[in-house]
């Protein structure tokens, strides 16, 4: 679990320049830290670094809008 969490937080840090280690429930879209381009990059990075295949066609923003939800979703898909 920690590896997934660290990797997701690292990817988010690279994408946004923000550290979410203490902000796991922050909404990434409401705070404008992620947009559609960022989402595509996030999914590509997750696939590349964690082997998680999450097609953009099945992407539901409300299930991926906080770091903690992203970590849970990655765990579920692994």
Domains of the chain: residue spans and CATH: 2-77 (1.10.1200.10)
Q: From residue 53, how far is each of 10, 22, 29, 44 by CA, in Å?
A: 18, 27, 21, 9
- Reference 56, options 78, 39, 31, 35; nearest CA is 39
Q: The whole model's pTM is what?
A: 0.93
Residue 42: is it exposed, middle or buried by C-beta count within 10 angstroms (0-12/13-18/19+)? buried
pLDDT digits (tens, 9 = 90+) for 8-56: 999 999 999 999 999 999 999 999 999 999 999 999 999 999 999 988 8
pLDDT tier for residue 4 given thresholds of 50, 70 and 90: very high
């Amino acid at each position: 679990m920690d590896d997934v969490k660290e990797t997701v937080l690292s990817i988010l840090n690279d994408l946004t320049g923000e550290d979410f280690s203490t902000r796991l429930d922050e909404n990434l879209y409401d705070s404008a830290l992620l947009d559609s381009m960022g989402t595509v990059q996030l999914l590509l990075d997750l696939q590349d670094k964690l082997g998680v295949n999450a097609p953009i066609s099945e992407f539901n923003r409300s299930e991926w809008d906080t770091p903690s939800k992203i970590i849970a979703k990655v765990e579920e898909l692994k």
